[in-house]
Structure 1
Amino acid sequence: MRVSMSQIRNRKVEQAGSPSLTVQIIAGNTGGQPRRFTREFTVGRDPACEVVVDHPLVSRIHLKIEYEHGRWWVVDTESTNGTYVGTTRMDRVAVDGELELHLGRNGPRLRLTAQETSAAEQDTIPEGVPSETYYRERYFGEGDIEGMSERTRIIRRAFSEIRQKQKQWGWIAGGCGLLLLLLTLGYMYYYQSQIERLTFLAKDTFYRLKSLELELAALDVENLSPEAQARRARLQLAYGELEQTYNRFMETLGIYEQNLSEEDRLIFRVARIFGECELTMPPDFVQEVKHYIRRWQSTDRLEKAIRRALRHNYHTRTTRIMLKHHLPPQYFYLALQESDFKPRAGPKTRVGIAKGHWQFIPRTAAKYGLRIGPLVELRRYDPRDERYDFDKACDAAARYIKDLYQTEAQASGLLVIACYNWGEERILPLLQQMPADPRERNFWQLLQKYKIPRETYDYVMYIVSAAVIGENPRLFGFDFDNPLATALAQAGESLPSPSGK
């Protein structure tokens, strides 16, 4: 379709339809020469105004007249003497048809007349005021224009090519953005699925380790047959390889490197030492341990007990005996919680009086080979009662812990600690109702399925938190060093790394 320039200009007139405004200064009964405006202008005494009125009542810029929302408006620009329509001072007034106003009370009079401009009047673009629509249609519109010059044709063709390229690049950019988004989402899904898969495999590996521990514990007896010895050797080899696999999973998942504080790392490590999986700990476990650490920090009980143990070399003796029974020496803190390393007698209970550093009741002490003294019914020290012999009682405690660990507790150290406190006759029936599988029988499952006494819960958490502090006492503000580090060094052992290796 061919479009003439006259049609373009007429299209502008049809769309705009804006009126012109005639301004005339009235002096007495005589009027000045009218002037016509089609856009905003100012009136005032300043020579820069489009309408200059040199009169003492007129401000430098007295008012402005603007076209807005289809009407002409007179706006007083905070003039000194004001703008009046009749006797009313006005700040803003519309010009509907004809309007007379005074610049100041009884000052110079203006007559404003709003008129609709005709098509003929607007057919010509005012000199020095080019039409934006005109140029837009001429150089950037669609189709050809009658009488179009070669220069205009070149401009229109160039603009058309640019617009086409912009569309093409727009589609390319949009496609690339969509592809990048899809790739990002795909990678995130793949990464998350890999993390979930690795986590599942790590948990499975951990509990396979626990099952192997139980099998090895069953073979940890004297006078094994050659076949049993060979089986134990194979299991030990498999256990070592499986442990390395689990440690690699921990490294890949970054469990000990994911912005953990040193305190958090120690809590994870102690949980692992006591036979719990880092990946299955409740989300609030770390904060709960820190709560009990603050309890230890609020008293000197821990520091006094450790210094008492150091004086009597209990830390070295406990480490040696626990390692002999293939148990972590951190059970040292169980004796601390029981007695503060004081050879005392506990209160009288329905099952007898607990005595010694490991607080054995008579029945359990006798079961594990300790001689009970004649003062069994009295809360007094009895030198003939082997519960007061630290080494014999510690060895009995290690055998008792080992039996619990490899049977009812299913290799869960925290369950062992809970059993030691609550008593076999109370907790073992509950454990026997749980599946004989380390995945389903551990301290976390016990807390979920049964209500245990607050005393037993505190007992477990005090021992865990004391073991955490013991790994690096000065980190937690205590004035002593790790009591087990020296004992392990003397035994030819070393502390595990943060990743449990």
Structure 2
Amino acid sequence: MTHEMANPLSEAVVRSPGIEVYAFGPIRVDVARHIVLRDGQPIALAPKTFELLLILVRSGGRALSRQELVAKLWADTFVEEANLSFQISTLRRVLGMGAELWIETVPKVGYRFTPEVTREAPTPATPPPARMLPGEGDETTPAPTLLTPDGISTRRRWMSASEWRKGTRFRALHVLASLCAALAVGLVALGMVYDRERQRSQDLRQLAAETFFQTRELDADLARLRRSGASSNTLVRSSYRLTKLEESYDRYLELIGTYAGKTQAERSVMRMARRLGESELDVSPGFHALAMQYVEEWRADAPLLRAALDRAREGNLLELVYKALDERGLPRELALIPLQESDFDIAWVGARRPRGISKGMWGFIPDLATRYGLALGPLHNAPIYDALDERHDPVRSTDAAVSHLADLYSSPAAASGLLVIAAYNYGPGNVINKLNELPDDPRDRNFWNFYRHKWMSDEALDYVMSVFAAALICEDPALFDIPIERP
């Protein structure tokens, strides 16, 4: 009777509760040996990324908050959430196809690990084959023999010319082959360095984007906190965190070289987009040229622009608007909306439209004015100035307009000043309804998507670009050679 001997190594693995091997899809994770395999091929993971993977596979499919993951990965150490985003991005990339579905982003919460995970025994290491001397264990292998050649002369002789040439040619070919081999090795090394630097640049760009989107979300949260009357301590903490995130974002931009090689005008456009809530990393092709086109239009109307800004200064209108915007934490560039609406003319009266006649320097239509507490005058249906209509009152109308802007700023417009400007002109419903159709992700809910996909009317785009170009000019009139005094 024959007896099969059990594999003691396999039995030890199965019985040992301390050995963990997890499997999902084509991935196997051997905890004890710190090995991750995909289809049997090893995947290189940094220690922190490996630790994150273990937390996810052990989570049992529940949603893990960002705060919980940060606390587990960096216990007793303060780090920004952008570090977690970077680790998630890295893990998705190295796990390969399917990782985007495995590591699900849960909006406003964190992440969920979705695949079914099984726990199994690790593959035992295969012992190396015993080394044998030639002839051992194989009767067909002949034993080595030593051959002593006969007839070799020990007498020195001179080489012939042909032999010398052959030897020289051989040495030259040998040197050439060595040089080619060294060149090939150098090119491979250079390629590896290039790939590593390219991957580093991509990782930094991803980290910068994640950091920017966090600033967008926090900026919108701050607007909501101010609107709800949150305590000063809460506002100070959130503002401090926002400042630190913006500093990190600036460092990433510097490392990536986002502004390198740009003209001064291009840098001005990128900085203005940033101040109005959009990332410099995603500036749409053609946007700079379009902005310069509107700068040229303002240059052609330089006397009108100068007169409007003088009117605003003389009536202390800019100071009034700046103060209201500052109190609500809104970008000062929004103070140029009355420039586009009325040239800062408090007596301005618009044309009759289906929703009524807009009046005042903010161009309020009747229903929006009453919604924000402005009293309409007896002549609100007549296209003439009405001293009893509060839309012509600069203080009351500014308070109402900035309240409206703050509401837009804390809506799904997601802290984008450019989308807020679009909503002010195009109507909140037209912008916000479209935003609600998009994923709850700032990568999708931004002005660049509206611009690229033409999700706003030509009139609304013209309005936004006019305000944007005016903000560029007022920021640095000398750069654009327009003779106005900086407001």
Same structural fold, with TM-score higher than 0.5 when normalized by the shorter chain: yes
8 Å contact kept, 2:331–2:417: no
8 Å contact kept, 1:418–1:459: yes
Give the structure 2 partner of residue 189 of structure 1: 195
| C-alpha deviation, 1:199, in angstroms | 1.0
Alignment-mate amino acid for residue 352 of structure 1: G
Match for residue 313 of structure 1 among 311, 316, 326: 316
Give the structure 1 partner of residue 255 of structure 2: 252
Alignment of 1:409 onto 2:417: no
- CA–CA distance in 1 between the matches of 2:241 and 2:429? 36
SS in structure 2 at match of 1:354: strand
Alignment-mate amino acid for residue 433 of structure 1: E
| C-alpha deviation, 1:379, in angstroms | 1.4
| C-alpha deviation, 1:154, in angstroms | 6.0
- CA–CA distance in 2 between the matches of 1:439 and 1:242? 17
1:11-30 superposed matches below 5 A: none
- CA–CA distance in 2 between the matches of 1:409 and 1:289? 22
Write the deviation string for residues 15-57 of structure 1: whole angstroms up to 9, x where unpaired: xxxxxxxxxxxxxxxxxxxxxxxxxxxxxxxxxxxxxxxxxxx
Alignment of 1:391 onto 2:395: yes
- CA–CA distance in 1 between the matches of 2:232 and 2:319? 30
8 Å contact kept, 1:410–1:436: no
Give the structure 1 partner of residue 300 of structure 2: 298
Alignment-mate amino acid for residue 266 of structure 2: D
1:384-463 superposed matches below 5 A: 384-449=388-453, 451-463=455-467
Write the deviation string for residues 440-488 of structure 1: whole angstroms up to 9, x where unpaired: 21222224455422111111111111111111112212112321xxxxx
8 Å contact kept, 1:205–1:246: yes
- CA–CA distance in 2 between the matches of 1:478 and 1:341? 19
8 Å contact kept, 2:378–2:388: yes
Match for residue 332 of structure 2 among 313, 329, 332: 329
- CA–CA distance in 1 between the matches of 2:431 and 2:220? 20
Query: Hey, which of these two has a bigger chunk of strand by percent?
Result: 1
Alignment-mate amino acid for residue 370 of structure 2: A
Match for residue 266 of structure 1 among 244, 268, 273: 268
| C-alpha deviation, 1:292, in angstroms | 1.4
| C-alpha deviation, 1:414, in angstroms | 1.1
1:236-247 superposed matches below 5 A: 236-247=239-250
Q: Using a 3 Å threshold, how does the CA distance of structure 1 residues 260 and 396 change in structure 2: closer, same or farther?
A: same
Give the structure 1 partner of residue 473 of structure 2: 469
Alignment-mate amino acid for residue 206 of structure 2: F
- What TM-score do the two structures reach when normalised by structure 2? 0.64
8 Å contact kept, 2:266–2:288: yes
- Which segments of 5 or more consecutive residues in structure 2 lack a partner in the other structure? 1-155
| C-alpha deviation, 1:412, in angstroms | 1.2
Match for residue 353 of structure 2 among 349, 362, 366: 349
Q: Using a 3 Å threshold, how does the CA distance of structure 1 residues 231 and 299 change in structure 2: closer, same or farther?
A: closer
Equivalent residues, number: 330
Give the structure 2 partner of residue 178 of structure 1: 184
- CA–CA distance in 2 between the matches of 1:298 and 1:170? 68
Q: Using a 3 Å threshold, how does the CA distance of structure 1 residues 370 and 165 change in structure 2: closer, same or farther?
A: same
1:68-79 superposed matches below 5 A: none
Match for residue 284 of structure 1 among 274, 280, 286: 286
Q: Using a 3 Å threshold, how does the CA distance of structure 1 residues 236 and 204 change in structure 2: closer, same or farther?
A: same
Q: Using a 3 Å threshold, how does the CA distance of structure 1 residues 223 and 295 change in structure 2: closer, same or farther?
A: closer
- CA–CA distance in 2 between the matches of 1:322 and 1:231? 20
8 Å contact kept, 2:227–2:406: no
- CA–CA distance in 2 between the matches of 1:439 and 1:389? 40
8 Å contact kept, 1:342–1:356: yes
8 Å contact kept, 1:474–1:481: no
- CA–CA distance in 2 between the matches of 1:347 and 1:236? 42
Alignment of 1:168 onto 2:174: yes
- CA–CA distance in 2 between the matches of 1:425 and 1:187? 51
8 Å contact kept, 1:347–1:353: yes
1:114-193 superposed matches below 5 A: 153=159, 155-156=161-162, 158-193=164-199
- What TM-score do the two structures reach when normalised by structure 1? 0.62
SS in structure 1 at match of 2:159: helix
- Which segments of 5 or more consecutive residues in structure 1 lack a partner in the other structure? 1-149, 484-501
| C-alpha deviation, 1:309, in angstroms | 2.2
Match for residue 213 of structure 1 among 219, 222, 231: 219
- CA–CA distance in 2 between the matches of 1:152 and 1:293? 87
| C-alpha deviation, 1:335, in angstroms | 1.1
Match for residue 362 of structure 1 among 366, 389, 395: 366
* Regions of 4+ moved over 3 Å: 150-161, 221-224, 228-234, 425-428, 447-451
Percent sequence identity over matched residues?
32
8 Å contact kept, 1:355–1:361: yes
Write the deviation string for residues 232-279 of structure 1: whole angstroms up to 9, x where unpaired: 4443332222111111111111212x1111111110011011101111
Give the structure 2 partner of residue 33 of structure 1: none
- CA–CA distance in 1 between the matches of 2:330 and 2:403? 10
| C-alpha deviation, 1:368, in angstroms | 1.8
Write the deviation string for residues 266-319 of structure 1: whole angstroms up to 9, x where unpaired: 100110111011111212111111121122222333233223323333333222
**Larger Rg over CA atoms:** 1
8 Å contact kept, 2:222–2:239: yes
